[in-house]
Amino acid sequence: MRFYREQRRFYCGIDLHASKMYVCILDDQGNVVLHRNMRAEPDPLKRALAPYRASLVVGAECMFSWYWLADWCRAEGIEFVLGHALYMKAIHGGKAKNDRIDSEKIARLLRGGTFPLAHVYPKEMRGTRDLLRRRTLLVRRRAELLAHVQNTHTQDNVPTTSGKGRDRVREGIAMSAFEDTSVQVMLDADIEVIKQLDETIARLETHVLKHAKVHDPARLHLLQTITGVGKVLSLVMLYEIRDVNRFENIGQFVSYARLGQAPTGDLQKRRYTNPP
């Protein structure tokens, strides 16, 4: 885990919500110079930060509403850092918890060098990455429905066509094999949703393949040499990783990919090299 360790004149912690945000600013001596609840909008924030922005860092937790704040800070030339939600909870978790307390804790983590960093994904690529994530969610939903259809047949020892193709499941369905009409209706509902998901997933894939900006063609080609990785899956991987050089070592990438705990020793120190 990386931490923010830069020295600034002022440290701003924001406990951000959909319509409100609590802002706390500390000076480099740890004194609270501003502590205020305000609307989660650019104008009130700009007025509040105006006296301190010459040497200021703004930090917020990686929750659902951080996009606009990161983009606003970037446009205003204010340094913004994003906090890893899980590690922040582990570091500053306590019995007393409210927006006022949380905003000050975020600011003190920044000042104390214990603010755990998450990656601030750039605005230019964020929409495509989020679309690919939504496609992944729909693919998982389809797989769950397909598994339910297969399991229902297995429960009653009714043979069905196996396979992962989009049409295989419909070819193998024999509604008349089930005497219970409720089971027939249930399977029919599953198949109807699978059909709709097939159409939606295909539409998303067509859009992504047509509009996705390939920022790293060499790595995209390298990903497609992996068995089972095609055009869409390679884009999913590329947009999630974005730039492999943002990881300081292999251990950080392994941890990011949820493949296990970050390795130690030589593997942790080994850096990535650009592909030929």
Q: How far apart are CA 57 and CA 28, in angstroms?
A: 11
Q: How far apart are CA 113 and CA 4, in angstroms?
A: 5
Q: H or E stretch including 86?
A: helix 85-92
**CA distances from residue 57 to 18, 26, 49, 156, 245 in whole angstroms, order as listed:** 21, 10, 10, 62, 24
pLDDT in the model for residue 161: 60
Q: Binning pLDDT at 50, 70 and 90, where does residue 272 land?
A: very low
Interior/surface letters 242-265, b for 16+ CB within 10 angstroms, e for the rest: eeeeebebbbbbbbeeeeeebbee
Average pLDDT rounded to a whole number, residues 207-231? 88
**Cβ–Cβ under 8 Å, residues 191 and 142:** no
Q: In the prediction, which pLDDT does 257 show?
A: 77
Longest CA span, the chain:
77
Q: Judge contact between 110 and 134, C-beta under 8 A.
A: no
Share of the chain above pLDDT 90, in %: 53
Q: What is the pLDDT of residue 165?
A: 43
Does 270 have pLDDT greater than 70?
no
- pLDDT for 180 equals 83
Query: Tokens 């939600």, residue?
Result: 85
Residue 209 or 213, more confident: 209
Other beta carbons within 10 angstroms of residue 13's beta carbon come to 28
Dihedrals phi, psi of 51, to nearest 5 degrees: -70, -10
Residues in the chain: 276
pLDDT at site 159: 74
Query: Over 60: is that where the pLDDT of 267 sits?
Result: no
Is the pLDDT at 131 greater than 70? The verdict is yes
DSSP letters, 14-53, are: EEE-SSEEEEEEEETTS-EEEEEEEESSHHHHHHHHTTTG
Q: Which two tokens stand for residue 250?
A: 């292999």
pLDDT digits (tens, 9 = 90+) for 139-194: 999 999 999 988 888 888 877 665 544 444 554 455 567 778 888 889 889 999 99
Work out whether strand 20-27 and strand 32-39 pair parallel, antiparallel, or are unpaired: antiparallel
Partners of residue 60 on adjacent β-strands: 14, 82
* Partners of residue 39 on adjacent β-strands: 20
The type of residue at 156 is D
* Sign of the alpha-carbon torsion through 201, 204, 210, 213: negative
168 CB-near residues (< 8 Å, 6+ apart): 161, 162
3-state secondary structure of 188: helix
